[in-house]
Amino acid sequence: MTFDQSVRIAATADVDDRAEIGSGSSVWHLAQVREQAVLGRDCVIGRGAYIGTGVKLGDNVKVQNYALVYEPAEVGDGAFIGPAAVFTNDHRPRSVDPDGKQRRAGDWHAVGVTVGAGASIGARAVCVAPVRIGRWAMVGAGAVVTADVPDFALVVGAPARRIAWVGRSGERLEQVAAERGENAEIWRCPETGARYREVAGELTEIE
């Protein structure tokens, strides 16, 4: 495949001809992009990062140095994958079957990590598939994610747990009010002034 002239691929990168690389994207030294992987526009794949077979990245995704994104992961527009973060794809990993025979690619069903638009995964975090990271959520450095993360949630620890809400800017939200009779709380971003409503453990933007 001939990539768009705006695509920059380092000489030491390993990009399969069957991958799709969107215009304006960069793949840096020693990174590997496997067959049928799809990268959107203006993506950045850092040094030594791995993008597995058929992985789908949206536009403006940054995958930092040595992150490992195994298939069949799907990453939304504007998401950030920090250095050395890992997305697994086998819920019950074994090298051999119960009889001691080595397992091959067709001997198990891959499960993936899904990352919503604008979400950020911290350095050395591990996302254990199958799991979904919500839109604009933040996963702290070194966290181990074993359950779905709600939109706008900040999670840390092993296993990861929510400790706060964050807005699109990444700032922690401040609670400003509770709505009477609706069992809802109102939150505000101190940087942008954007307001959010929390109901039953889910946060949504107030337009």
Domain that holds residue 177: 167-207
Same domain, 18 and 79: yes
* 183 is a domain residue: yes
% pLDDT > 90, the chain = 86
* 1 is a domain residue: no
CATH number of the domain that residue 13 is part of: 2.160.10.10
Identity of residue 200? A
Q: What is the mean pLDDT of residues 100-107?
A: 85
* 3 is a domain residue: no
Same domain, 109 and 132: yes
**CB neighbourhood size of 36 (10 A):** 14
Same domain, 23 and 114: yes
Banded pLDDT at 6 (limits 50, 70, 90):
very high
DSSP calls for 142-164 = T-EE-S-B-TTEEEETTTTEEEE
Same domain, 195 and 143: no
Same domain, 16 and 101: yes
What is the pLDDT, as a whole number, of residue 49? 98
Domain count, the chain: 2
Same domain, 177 and 127: no
Same domain, 68 and 128: yes
User: Residue 197: helix, strand or coil by DSSP?
Assistant: strand
**CB neighbourhood size of 110 (10 A):** 18
Same domain, 56 and 136: yes
Same domain, 179 and 107: no
CA distances from 104 to 72, 90, 110, 145, 155 (A): 17, 13, 12, 26, 35
Query: Of 1-10, 136-145, 178-187, 196-205, which has the strongest mean pLDDT?
Result: 136-145
Whether the bond into 93 is cis, omega within 30 of 0: no
Same domain, 145 and 127: yes
* 186 is a domain residue: yes
Whether the bond into 159 is cis, omega within 30 of 0: yes
Q: What is the mean pLDDT of the chain?
A: 95
List all residues 6 or more positions away from 176 whose beta carbon is below 8 Å from its beta carbon: 186, 187, 188, 195
Banded pLDDT at 181 (limits 50, 70, 90):
low
The first and second tokens of residue 147, run together, are: 């359950």
Banded pLDDT at 109 (limits 50, 70, 90):
confident
Same domain, 157 and 172: no
* 140 is a domain residue: yes
Same domain, 157 and 196: no
Residue carrying structure tokens 């390993």 = 14
